[in-house]
A and B are shown apart, each in its own frame.
Chain A
Amino acid sequence: MTLTAIIFAGILTYFTRMTMIALISRDMLGDKIKAVLEYVPSAVFPAIIFPGIFINDFGTFIEMNDPKIFGALVAVIVGYFSKNIIATISAGLVSYWFLIFVVFN
Chain B
Amino acid sequence: MLTKKQLFTRGMLDISPHMLSVIPFGIICGAIGVELGFDPYLVYAMSFIIFGGASQIVFLQLLSGGASSLVAVASVGIINSRHLLYGAVLSEYLEKLSFIKKLLISYVVVDQGFAESNKFFKKNRNEEFLHYHLIGTGCTMWVCWQIATLSGIVLGSFVPEELGLKFAIPLTFIAIVVQDLKKLDHVIVMITCGLSSLLFFDAPFKSYIIISPIIALFVAALLLRLKK
Chain A residues near B (Cβ < 8 Å): 1-10, 12-14, 16-22, 24-26, 29, 32, 34-37, 39-55, 59, 61, 68, 71-72, 75-76, 79-80, 83-86, 88-90, 92-93, 96-97, 100
| Contact indicator A89/B73 (Cβ below 8 Å) | no
User: B181 interface residue, CB < 8 Å from A?
Assistant: yes
Query: Which chain A residues lie closer than 8 Å to B83 at the CB level?
Result: 13, 16-17, 20
Which of B1-9, B13-21, B143-151 lies at the binding interface?
B13-21
Most buried by B among A29, A75, A90: A75
8 closest residue pairs by CB, A with B = A20-B87, A52-B170, A10-B49, A85-B17, A43-B216, A46-B194, A18-B106, A50-B194
Q: Among B21, B105, B217, which residue has its beta carbon within 8 angstroms of that of A39? A: B217
Query: Which chain A residues lie closer than 8 Å to B176 at the CB level?
Result: 41, 45, 85
Q: Among B77, B169, B173, B220, which residue has its beta carbon within 8 angstroms of that of A16? A: B77
* Cα separation A52 to B224 with both chains bound (whole Å): 29
Chain A interface mostly helix, strand, loop or mixed?
helix
Query: Which chain B residues lie closer than 8 Å to A34 at the CB level?
Result: 92
| Contact indicator A3/B95 (Cβ below 8 Å) | no
User: B155 interface residue, CB < 8 Å from A?
Assistant: no
Please name 8 further chain A to chain B contacts, defined as beta carbons within 8 Å, in addition to the given A16-B77, A75-B171, sorted by A numbering. Answer: A12-B76, A39-B186, A39-B217, A42-B180, A42-B186, A45-B193, A51-B208, A75-B175
- Of residues 13 to 38 in B, which have CB atoms within 8 Å of A's CB atoms? 17-18, 20-21, 38
Instruction: With both chains docked as a complex, state the minimum distance between the C-beta of A23 and any C-beta of chain B, in angstroms.
Output: 9
| Contact indicator A37/B224 (Cβ below 8 Å) | no
User: B89 interface residue, CB < 8 Å from A?
Assistant: yes
Known: A16-B77, A42-B189. A21 touches B90 (CB 8 A): yes
